[in-house]
Amino acid sequence: NKPATMRGILSVVSSVYDPLGFLAPALLPAKLILRDLCKEKFGWDEQVEVKHIQKWKKWMDDLQLLVDYKVNRCFKPTGFGTIKTAQMHHFADASEDGYGTVTYLVLTNEEGKKHCSFLMAKSRVAPLKQVTIPRLELTATVVAIKMDKMLKGEFQMPLEESTFWTDSTTVLKYISSESTRFKTFVANRISVIRDHSQPSQWRYVTSALNPADQASR
C-alpha cells in the first residue's frame, strides 16, 4: 500500500520477486508507467497525473490475479524415460515499448519423443532515447546470447548446440553478413553474437509464433 508517486510505484514493482522471468509480460506495463514518468520528469515524491494513476490502479488490480499462480519446475516429466539429447532454444523480440527474450529446454528421449520446458525469460523497457526497432531487435538478440552463456554454466547435463530465433530479417542479415562494415552500435553487438554463436544457429520465426513477443509488449 504505497502512495501513487514514482518512489511508491518503483517500490511496489521492485518488490515482485521473479528471478526466472515467469512474470515478465505482467511486469512490463508497470515498468512502462515508470518510464513515462521519467520522460515527463516527475519528482520522486510528486503526485502523478490521473491518467497514470488509472493505469497504475488497473495494474495493481491485475496483480492480484497472480496470487494462486503456480508453475511445475520439473523439466523432465514423469515416465519420460532416458534423455537422449537436450537443447536450448532462445527467442528474441523487440517493440517500441521494450525488448525481451525467452529460453526453452527441449528434451528428446530414446523413443524420439520431445518435451519442451520454459527455462527463463527477461523483459526490458526500451530506453528513453529513441532507438530504431532493428537496433532494439539486435539488442534483444544480445540478451539471448548472454542467457545462453549463463545457463550453459549452470546446467549439469550435456547440451547440444543452442538454436536462436528472431522475427527480424534485418538482424539475420546483420549476423550472416561477412563483408558489410557496420556502424559502432551494430558492430559491437554483432561482435558479441559472433563470439558466442555461428550464423547457422540463427533461425527465422514469424512474429505470430514468437513467444518472446509477449515479453516485449
What is the domain-level CATH number for residue 126?
Answer: 3.30.420
Give CA–CA dist 1/152, Å, rounded: 40
For the chain, the average pLDDT equals 93
Whether the Cβ atoms of residue 125 and residue 35 lie closer than 8 Å to each other: yes
Whether the Cβ atoms of residue 108 and residue 81 lie closer than 8 Å to each other: no
> Residue 124 belongs to what domain range?
83-215
- pLDDT, tens digit, for every residue of 94-129? 999 999 999 999 999 999 999 999 999 999 999 988
Say if residue 94 is in the same domain as residue 58: no
Give CA–CA dist 139/188, Å, rounded: 10
Count of domains for the chain? 2
Residue 170 has pLDDT above 80, yes or no: yes
Say if residue 29 is in the same domain as residue 106: no
Say if residue 208 is in the same domain as residue 143: yes
Give CA–CA dist 129/152, Å, rounded: 33
Give CA–CA dist 65/61, Å, rounded: 8
Among the listed residues 132, 119, 123, 147, the one whose alpha carbon sits nearest the alpha carbon of residue 185 = 132
